[in-house]
Structure 1
Amino acid sequence: MVSTQPTPTKFLRLSDVTKAIGASGSSVWAWVKNGTFPAPVKLSPNCTAWIAAEVDQWAADRIADSRKAGV
């Protein structure tokens, strides 16, 4: 029988997100507010993080969009 354990979820803090996508924290929060960037997850009262797979997908979508537009 093949084990089908789920892949562990990796979380990114804001500093990791900004490094990964090359944008400022204020840009990330503005994009979250207007719905163009994945919303973070509240891990505890003082800890907010993004799901790495969602950030990766957002980046892949931006790349695909720019290729379609010929940019």
Structure 2
Amino acid sequence: MQSEINPHQTPPERLLRLPEVETRVGLRKSSIYEAIRRGAFPTPVRLSPRAVCWPASEIDAWISERIGTRARA
């Protein structure tokens, strides 16, 4: 059965795995997890016992926040 496409429906949230997060934010795994520990980076969403991801909107917001901080400095 095919689902109907609603042109007014927002697309589902995109989930990013660690390699893409590293590329987008310019930090490596250890720096990302240290920032999470300090509460300075979005926490990941658990997909399974061994897999996590980050909502793209949260990573985009984090990047925008860094850019905004630079503009105020």
Q: Do Structure 1 and Structure 2 share a fold, with TM-score over 0.5?
A: yes
Partner Cα separation in structure 2 for residue 24 and residue 3 of structure 1: 38
CA distance in 2, matches of 1:6, 1:42: 23
Segments of structure 2 that go 5 or more residues without pairing to the other structure are 1-5
Q: Compute the TM-score of the two structures, normalised by the length of structure 1.
A: 0.87
Q: Does 1:20 align with 2:24?
A: yes
Deviation at 1:6, TM superposition (A): 3.4
The one-letter amino acid of 1:59's match is I
The answer for the alignment partner of 2:41 in structure 1 is: 37
Identity %: 37
Residue 8 (str. 1) matches residue 45 (str. 2): no
Instruction: Give the equivalent residue in structure 1 for 2:64.
Output: 60
**Offset at residue 7 of structure 1 (A):** 2.5
Q: How many residues align?
A: 68
User: Distance in 2 between the 1:10 and 1:43 partners?
Assistant: 13
Runs of 4+ in 1 over 4 A off after TM superposition: none
- TM-score, length of structure 2 as denominator length: 0.85
